[in-house]
């Protein structure tokens, strides 16, 4: 029996899940916005407390590795590494894009989706303007195209859409639906990042002892952080 605590902070949703042997035990999350610094550790503590567990009784910590929000990822990984160091636990890194793909596969009947061998799953995390972080997966959740930052226009995915049914979802997909115009493009609503859908991927990694190096692991930002310029220079006002 193995307990894993899952931390998801790659988007505006702050989410923590507890699983036993890959099965969800409890979940706490908020979609109120970027409150991860205030909420993530509180959610983790509350989840453990109401399930009668202490952090040292966990078997591993799983964290969303990115891409996504620069600040959110730093908060999640910092908390995960701190819990691992103090309690001598292994760390598992989970892609939020692949976790969203797993969510769609788990909810396919609820969402009334017809998936075939000709289908590809294309999760999208919103980036700046018309840019998204994305990858593609087959219906066994195997990676077909690697994670990339894509600027979306009318030609995006055109070559693949000639032969494949593409299912787009995630918080970056909504802004793409008016631009990607193909009968083979399907946009699925209601799929968002959540720690509960990290559980199966983290359990598989745990069983295979696929842990990251605690000392050297960093979030997968994909792009360098670019700070915005202040509109007014307060030193010269």
Torsion (CA) 142, 145, 149, 152 in degrees, nearest 10: -110
45 part of a folded domain: yes
Decide: 34 and 12 in contact? Cβ < 8 Å.
yes
Decide: 169 and 122 in contact? Cβ < 8 Å.
yes
Question: Both 157 and 203 in a single domain?
Answer: no
Q: Residue 128: its pLDDT value, please?
A: 83
The token duo for 74 is 């730093």
Sign of torsion over alpha carbons 185, 186, 187, 192: negative
Number of domains the chain is built from: 2
Question: Both 108 and 175 in a single domain?
Answer: yes
216 part of a folded domain: no
**Cβ within 8 Å of residue 178, ≥6 positions away:** none
Per-position pLDDT tens, the chain of length 237:
899 999 999 999 999 999 999 999 999 999 987 789 999 999 999 999 999 999 999 999 999 999 999 999 999 999 999 999 999 999 999 999 999 999 999 999 999 999 999 999 999 999 988 999 999 999 999 999 999 999 999 999 999 999 999 999 999 998 899 999 999 999 999 999 999 999 999 999 999 999 999 999 999 998 754 444 444 433 333
The token duo for 228 is 């915005």
236 part of a folded domain: no
219 part of a folded domain: no
CATH number, domain containing residue 158: 3.30.420
Question: Both 84 and 168 in a single domain?
Answer: no
Could you give the CA distance from residue 105 to residue 87 in angstroms, rounded to a whole number? 34
- Domain of residue 89: give its range: 3-95+194-207
Residue among 120, 121, 13 at smallest CA distance from 68: 13
Q: Residue 213: its pLDDT value, please?
A: 97
Question: Both 126 and 14 in a single domain?
Answer: no
Decide: 199 and 151 in contact? Cβ < 8 Å.
no
CA distances from 105 to 16, 32, 35, 38, 110 (A): 21, 26, 29, 32, 10
Question: Both 78 and 121 in a single domain?
Answer: no
Q: Residue 122: its pLDDT value, please?
A: 98
Measure the N-to-C terminal CA separation of the chain; round to a whole number of Å: 62
Question: Both 128 and 58 in a single domain?
Answer: no
73 part of a folded domain: yes
* Beta-sheet pairing, 60-64 with 23-30: unpaired
Question: Both 173 and 107 in a single domain?
Answer: yes
CATH number, domain containing residue 31: 3.30.420.40
Could you give the CA distance from residue 21 to residue 224 in angstroms, rounded to a whole number? 36
57 part of a folded domain: yes
Question: Both 45 and 91 in a single domain?
Answer: yes
Question: Both 41 and 156 in a single domain?
Answer: no
Could you give the 3-state DSSP secondary structure of residue 81?
A: helix
* Gyration radius of the chain's alpha carbons: 19
Decide: 29 and 42 in contact? Cβ < 8 Å.
no
pTM: 0.92
Sign of torsion over alpha carbons 70, 197, 124, 62: positive
Decide: 16 and 47 in contact? Cβ < 8 Å.
yes
Our measurement of the distance from residue 109's CA atom to the centroid of its chain's CA atoms, rounded to an integer in Å, reads 22
């Amino acid at each position: 029996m193995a307990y894993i605590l899952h931390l998801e902070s790659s988007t505006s949703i702050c989410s923590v899940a507890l699983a036993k042997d890959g099965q969800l035990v409890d979940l706490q999350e908020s979609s109120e916005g970027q409150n991860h610094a205030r909420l993530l550790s509180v959610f983790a503590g509350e989840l453990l407390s109401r399930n009668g567990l202490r952090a040292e009784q966990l078997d591993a910590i799983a964290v969303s590795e990115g891409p996504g929000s620069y600040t959110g990822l730093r908060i999640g990984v910092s908390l995960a590494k701190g819990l691992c160091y103090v309690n001598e636990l292994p760390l598992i890194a989970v892609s939020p894009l692949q976790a969203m793909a797993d969510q769609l596969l788990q909810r396919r009947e609820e969402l009334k989706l017809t998936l075939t061998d000709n289908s590809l799953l294309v999760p999208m995390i919103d980036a700046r303007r018309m840019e998204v972080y994305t990858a593609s997966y087959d219906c066994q959740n195997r990676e077909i195209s690697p994670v990339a930052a894509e600027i979306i226009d009318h030609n995006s995915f055109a070559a693949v859409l000639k032969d494949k049914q593409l299912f787009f979802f995630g918080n970056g997909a909504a802004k793409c639906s008016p631009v990607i115009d193909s009968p083979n493009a399907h946009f699925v609503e209601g799929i968002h990042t959540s720690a509960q859908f990290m559980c199966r991927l983290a359990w598989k990694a745990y069983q295979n002892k696929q842990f990251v190096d605690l000392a050297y692991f960093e979030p997968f930002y994909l792009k360098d952080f670019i700070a915005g310029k202040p509109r007014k220079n307060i030193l010269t006002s």
